[in-house]
Amino acid sequence: MLEILYEDENLLVVNKPAQLATHPSGVYEDNSLFDKLKEKYTTLHLINRLDFDTSGIILCAKNKQTAAKLNKLMFEKKIQKKYKAIVFGELKKEITVNKPIAERRGTNIKWKMKIVRKNSRDARECITFFKPLQTVEKKGEKYTLVECTPLTGRQHQIRVHLSYLKHPIVGDKIYIRDRVFKYYTTHDHKLNTECLEIIKTSRMLLHSYYLKFSLDNDERIITCDMPEDFRNFLS
């Protein structure tokens, strides 16, 4: 059962589980959040998306009129999003990363991104604010629970910027080590014991927990509790 965070005649907000695609495509053609929702809702427009491994808030419109309004808010950057992530190491202070990103050429997954110079041909402005919330130590290694606020809407921007800070997200199969990425993409999206020892958990610990926007002069704030695997890792 999908957790419904909010619902009215125009809106539906759900908590997407980790390791579920947002939209049907490729190997997830018949197994996505959209497929599950359309079993109950005949007309539904998904406004935002989350990566396969990322859990948390998905905003949906129940009609074209509401979808148009929300898409306009998204385009104008008037929907505020916040995430929580568990990262390697101790992030000691708040920091804003303002580093443009672009597609990383020559990889066997076209959407792997990297930081580039501002004057690079494919550079796209990318800004993320990070705030450390809690640091824990497990088996001699430190990890930090971080609040992540993307100020731009670029693909993988939180993941790329945290990797740039040398604090990659626990469980990230793409941006922790190149050899994990290579194994994962050449073995049908599976991991061996060595890979799991490096990234520490089979799913990336990134969760969309906060959404704020105004629709028809009515401010909405939607929140979503941290999932159980986050709490277990921090305990």
Annotated catalytic residues are 51
Q: Is 139 left (phi over 0), alpha (psi -120 to 50) or beta?
A: left
Residue keyed to tokens 């990383």: 104
Q: Of 204, 207, 224, 222, which Cα lies nearest the Cα of 80?
A: 222
Q: Which residue has the tokens 């402005």?
A: 125
What are 45's two structure tokens? 């427009």
Half-sphere exposure in the Cβ direction for 107 (13 Å, CA): 19
DSSP state of 27: G
Print burial letters for 92-127: b (CB count within 10 Å at least 16), e (below 16): eeeeebebbbbbbeebeeeebbbbbeeeeeeebebb
